Structure 1
């Protein structure tokens, strides 16, 4: 399992990291996460008081300014990569990630109901997804093999998007997205379909997002 530490500014931009997870290989996701970190920094630079007078923590600010200058080339390259990642996301990857997250939601519901429905059995979760997609005309989820491949590709990262959706749907509960994501991640990796001994998702395939305080 790969752990990714998220700082305070990044916590406000989790949607960008979900976009990074839409890349279809682990290596591409890791690079995309680095790209999104640069994007978060770029978004915050417009609010930084460059050229301002004396401020508290001036030494720290000076160090940050030097770092900004030293990493400008990296941010320029990352901006280009961000554009390409966004194009892939808008073109096809968002749709595939949405399908995988929907599969994850059905699994999570099955776990909560203590049904532990299988993925590949007759009447199982993948068959349900295919039927819903066929009935509602959802592209990319009407073929069982395609749904299965999509799930295998994204099963290790669906928990973040699932958590974002859940928190958006329950805004008055004061939920922490990363805590919800971690709960879902553990649930998927610690529970097995009935009559099997393998979890829905191996922890080896997962990416865990952890908040790291700057304090």
Structure 2
């Protein structure tokens, strides 16, 4: 949901909101309330941190509801259209075709044609598809990786590693007769994974 916001700045704010939301959900596991007991002792600095950051979590809860509303109303559909474009770009890279996006018969036109056939709202106009791609091309690799891992269940696959491979492929390859990558590296969000082992 955080990545479905339509600017990089809004995505970073949404990611901060999501962090607070995750912390809020995790706090239920700790016995810091009256009448709760646990085998471990809760450190006073943790209790103080919980108290000091409660306002941030409260504000984040409101932010989360707005993000979720935008996601459900329009952003999910747009992100899905951009991910479909990304999948066609990725396929073109894998097949060593390096098809163009904006050329006649190119990837954006193909997405528009499929949207017209399927009656998909928000993708039946090439300019709209182009704008959607430009808005979300820096984050589509995560959704593409999630879809790939869902379609190819393998305990050895790490979705963030797959996302990074796709991200690099989109930023290191470019359509034929051009020198600009499909997605500029400085316009992408990279999802780092740090193993605990």
Counterpart pick for 2:75 among 81, 86, 93: 93
Cα displacement string for residues 43-98 of structure 1 (whole angstroms, at most 9, x for unaligned residues): 1122223343452xx46x44333221110000000000000010000000100000
In the TM superposition, 1:47-196 aligns within 5 A as: 47-50=29-32, 51-55=36-40, 58=41, 61-172=43-154, 174-196=156-178
Tell me how far 1:163 sits from its aligned partner: 0.7
The structure with higher relative contact order (CA 8 Å, sep 6+) is 1
Tell me how far 1:185 sits from its aligned partner: 0.4
When the two structures are superposed, what TM-score results if normalisation uses the length of structure 2?
A: 0.93
Structure showing greater Rg? 2
Q: Distance in 2 between matches of 1:132 and 1:62?
A: 59
Unaligned runs of 5+ in 1: 1-18
- Please state which structure has a larger fraction of its residues in strand: 1
Tell me how far 1:214 sits from its aligned partner: 6.2
Secondary structure at the aligned position of 2:154 is classed as helix
Q: Distance in 1 between matches of 2:23 and 2:103?
A: 46
Aligned-residue Cα RMSD (Å) equals 1.5
Q: Distance in 2 between matches of 1:189 and 1:64?
A: 42
The alignment covers a number of residue pairs equal to: 194
Secondary structure at the aligned position of 2:192 is classed as strand
Q: Distance in 2 between matches of 1:85 and 1:49?
A: 30
In the TM superposition, 1:34-45 aligns within 5 A as: 34-45=16-27
Unaligned runs of 5+ in 2: none
